[in-house]
Copies of this chain bind each other. A is one copy, B any other.
Amino acid sequence: MSESFGLNVQARSGAARAGTLTTPHGRVATPAFVPVATQAAVKALPLAMVRDTRSQLLFANTYHLYLRPGADVVAQHGGLHRFMGWDRPMLTDSGGFQVFSLGAGIEHGVGKVASIFPGEGGPKPTGQSGMVKVGEHGVVFTSHIDGSRHEFTPEHSIDVQRRLGADMIIAFDECTSPLHDEAYTRASADRTHRWAERSLQAFASSSPLHGYDQTLFGVVQGGAFESVRRESTRVIAGMDFGGIAIGGNLGDTKEAMYRVIEWTVDELGDDSRPRHLLGIGDVPSVWEGAARGVDTFDCVAPTRNARNGGLLKRFDDDGSPLPQFRINLKNARYADDTRPVDETCSCSTCQNHSRAYLRHLFKAGEQLGPALATVHNLHFMSDLMDTIRESIHHGRFEDEKRAWLEPTGANAELA
């Protein structure tokens, strides 16, 4: 771990912890939500406006950027920060998740969300994927853009992430699906551990290219199988990573996911390295993840929902809690509604625009609708993380969590 990187935990509430993550591009107050900039852009929104939402760091996807525009183009600019025009911290993933979600994921008929909550899609395994071939050396896959063939190995993933230049990068891993049985999941986790060693060696034998240090995170795998998760945690935590990411298949329900996090954090004990939960960022999961000791969360849901007219909000107009923590702005009831989306929200969208105007933009197909909705949702997530952090600092975390989740039934099964 470099001196320019590390988590300083300042307050705890049970397993929940609040602190400051130091990176070469500045500090991050944790727990933190990490908006996703898959292709080096937060969809629909100029970065000046992303900054105004108080988003502290961004997450970009190695797989996409490797294929387009290519890591060399990004490197010629001096790395992702300069390429995008973002001067705050960044993470990249290893490429593994997309390699598999665009290969085995397609083959199994499941994406990330469906793999966690199959009610949303119904996975149907159909056999071995022609898109992806996994071997001990690495993964050969077919580009979703032009059908060309590529190979990712631990060494290649680290090389690409060196060139991209995020502050935090992730060791190459295989991401299993809920349809893989325990035997496959265990064999895959073992391979991921061997790839983790190779990733660490490749990282140690290379240097940062853009004038600042990078930190390598390991990924805990193991699906929803307790013994495999616990073993994967022990193995990954025993290596010289700067941080721990929790990845892969997290189970079929939110409750299963919460258990996976609990097993992981239980094995980590008082490990002070930062813990990142990959691909999860809905409101109940953020509360429950923070409660179990997660420091950072990346997720496309707040920005994707925004582009579909789903605006994050805690209470409906009659004061009742919104079960999904959002309203659908396209609803006809908002056609002549001159109120802001949330009268208690200080984002520039709520300060300047009505529900009727936003609905008009969506109905008229104006790209400004998704942009203004994205401002609101990212601002909502920043507010939510402020609430979580402050409640940990002030010893009110459990009360606040209960106040947020209990009325919605979101944590009914966890009581």
Other-chain contact of A43, B43, B64, B353, B368 (Cβ < 8 Å) = B368
Is A114 interfacial (CB-CB < 8 Å)?
no
Other-chain contact of A336, B40, B72, B338, B361 (Cβ < 8 Å) = B72
Q: Residues of B contacting A39 with CB < 8 Å?
A: 360-361, 364, 366
Interchain CB contact under 8 A, A46 and B372: yes
Is A278 interfacial (CB-CB < 8 Å)?
no
Q: Residues of B contacting A68 with CB < 8 Å?
A: 360, 363-364
Report the separation of the CA atoms of residues A393 and B64 in the bound assembly, to the nearest whole angstrom.
52
Interchain CB contact under 8 A, A77 and B354: yes
Is A327 interfacial (CB-CB < 8 Å)?
no
Q: Residues of B contacting A363 with CB < 8 Å?
A: 68-69
Chain B residue nearest to A49 in the complex (CB): B46
Interchain CB contact under 8 A, A348 and B48: yes
Is A2 interfacial (CB-CB < 8 Å)?
no
Chain B residue nearest to A86 in the complex (CB): B352
| Bitwise interface map of A from 316 to 335 toward B, beta carbon under 8 Å scored 1, else 0 | 00000000000000000001
CB proximity of A378 to chain B, nearest CB, Å: 13
Is A356 interfacial (CB-CB < 8 Å)?
yes
Known: A360-B68, A371-B371. A41 touches B366 (CB 8 A): yes
Q: Which residues of A contact B (CB under 8 A)?
A: 39-49, 64, 68-69, 72-73, 76-77, 83-85, 335-336, 338, 348, 352-354, 356-357, 359-361, 363-364, 366-368, 370-372, 375
